[in-house]
């Protein structure tokens, strides 16, 4: 139960604000679709996907693996962009960028908790220790989501970035993978391939951030 309490807020914020960032960037670049549908909001209930935001993270948490999830995708209409492929890449990058900013925010919370007497050693108790554990969870989930979403597999954000550099005639063929992307991702997870694929960049980033403590 304590583990659930520690992870709940970091996971919810990481998943929902990732999508808010997509909608905000799309709005800045000329597409107001997400804003008109009420998706550029900090209200998490506008973004929650029952499976991706609740069931999958809970299952992974209790199975002891790394935690990830997703919210309802923010609708984006590329025809409202001046340069659709380039602008879509910026919209895609906004999500992982938001996760990086949140990871830095949770890192600051860890520093505050440590100044109040909390320690990274396991077994501590008290409010400061709870804040530290929440901070570690926040850094972890945000770095995981950032690295995961930058994989070039449709519909992940990395695919939108890669598409900006592909010849236009190739993009359509590339996006034909999109209906199968989630199943491919879950298959890689349960086959034990996804973890090793993202663990290297994740561990390097986490080590870089934790050197600031």
DSSP secondary structure, the chain, as one string: -HHHHHHHHHHHHHHHHHHHHHHHHHHHTT--HHHHTT-SSS-GGGT--IIIIIIHHHHHHHHTS------PPPP--GGGSSSHHHHHHHHHHHHHHHHHHHHHHHHHHHHHHHHTT--SSTT--SHHHHHHHHHHHHHHHHHHHHHHHTSSSTTSHHHHHHHTTS-HHHHHHHHTTGGGHHHHHHHHHHTT-HHHHHHHHHHHHHHHHHTT-
The residues assigned a catalytic role are 19
């Amino acid at each position: 139960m304590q583990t659930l309490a520690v992870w709940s807020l970091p996971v919810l914020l990481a998943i929902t604000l990732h999508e808010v960032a997509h909608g905000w960037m799309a709005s800045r670049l000329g597409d107001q679709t997400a804003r008109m549908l009420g998706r550029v909001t900090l209200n998490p209930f506008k973004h929650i996907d029952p499976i991706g935001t609740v069931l999958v993270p809970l299952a992974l948490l209790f199975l002891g693996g790394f935690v990830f999830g997703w919210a309802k995708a923010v609708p984006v209409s590329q025809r409202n962009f001046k340069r659709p492929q380039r602008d879509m890449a910026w919209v895609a990058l906004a999500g992982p960028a938001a996760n990086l900013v949140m990871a830095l925010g949770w890192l600051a919370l860890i520093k505050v908790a440590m100044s109040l007497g909390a320690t990274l050693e396991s077994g501590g108790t008290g409010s400061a220790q709870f804040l530290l554990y929440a901070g570690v969870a926040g850094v972890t989930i945000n770095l995981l989501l950032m690295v995961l979403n930058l994989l070039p597999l449709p519909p992940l954000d990395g695919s939108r970035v890669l598409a900006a550099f592909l010849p236009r005639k190739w993009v359509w063929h590339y996006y034909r993978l999109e209906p199968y992307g989630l199943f491919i991702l879950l298959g890689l997870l349960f086959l034990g391939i996804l973890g090793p694929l993202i663990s290297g960049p994740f561990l390097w980033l986490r080590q870089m951030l934790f050197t600031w403590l």
